Amino acid sequence: MNTFNSTLTLLTELLLAPLAQWPLVALLVWSAVAGVLMAIVFRFTSNQPAIRRAADRCRAEVLAIKLFQDDLLGIFTSLRALLWHSAARLWHSLPPMLLMLLPFVLVLMQLALRYEWRPLMPGESTIVHLELEPEHWEQTQHAQLHPPAGVVIEAGPVRNANTNKISWRINVSETSPAGTSPGPLQWKIADTLVDKHLAICGSEQPLQLVDPRRAGPDWRDQVLHPGEPGLPQASAVRGIMIDYPRRETLLFGLDIAWWITFLIVSMIAAFLLKPLVGVEF
């Protein structure tokens, strides 16, 4: 899983690099590309004749409702038929939707690494959490955090035996070089060293990969947090979290969630491409 994640992360980095100086433009462009690709995949993996028949019958029933507004029984009959044909249309759309589900999730996870959170700026503080496996709590609860140069521990450790977490508040020095990490955060647990990348930037930095969590051994955790290699199976650590600030993605002066922008733009692109590809949704 680590090899797959690192390959996909590198590929995404290469694709986003030409527009990294303009994060919103990059999001809009690749959202449109994703919509085009989804339309093409839908065209060749769905039962298009059946979907077209269901769509034509839906339109026919809507027209019947408009034409025979005085026939109450006919309206209810048309509504029932409309629901039936709509369900058939959805049924025939399920196979391509299921086929695209995994790639869609992987794309969203990669975009989340760039658009969901922003790096810390010099002078900012945040909380880091070390999550330990319950069966190793007694032996590992005295883990020590060793911050790199330019990062200081302001408070902690605070141990929570109920959640098996140890937390620290750290501060990034005002003198830390913006755009570069001073080095990873490192924990000494018994005789083992575990680290987590710390992302730092200035106020005017391009897109930067920010993963708030280093995943544990669970492959599902690694799918959702592909930015760093997952911890080995034998590790006593379940995961490492950094509370990064949320990134703002302003569109028309509004802070719209990046994933909403992605969904809207990709759907618009897919529908605009309908006549060119000859696809019916």
What percent of the chain shows pLDDT beyond 70?
95
pTM reported for the whole predicted model: 0.83
On the question of pLDDT at 32 being above 80, the answer is yes
Contact by Cβ (8 Å): 42, 281: yes
On the question of pLDDT at 176 being above 60, the answer is no
Q: In this structure, what is the dihedral angle of CA atoms 169, 172, 173, 174, given to the nearest 10 degrees?
A: -130
Tracing tokens 């001073």 back to the chain, one arrives at 182
Mean pLDDT confidence for 33-50: 92
What percent of the chain shows pLDDT beyond 90?
50
User: Could you read off the pLDDT of 131-174 as tens digits, one per residue?
Assistant: 999 988 888 888 899 998 889 999 989 999 999 999 999 998 86
In terms of C-beta distances under 8 Å and separation of at least 24 residues, what long-range contacts does 194-197 make, across chains too? 194/231, 194/235, 194/237, 194/240, 196/128, 196/228, 196/240, 196/242, 197/227, 197/228
Residue 177's pLDDT is what? Answer: 55
Mean pLDDT confidence for 91-115: 92
User: Using the 8-state DSSP alphabet, how is residue 120 labeled?
Assistant: B
Query: Which amino acid, 36?
Result: V
Mean pLDDT confidence for 230-238: 87
Ranges of H-type helices in 167-224: 219-224
Mean pLDDT confidence for 52-76: 87
Q: Mean pLDDT, the chain, as a whole number?
A: 88
User: Using the 8-state DSSP alphabet, how is residue 244 labeled?
Assistant: P
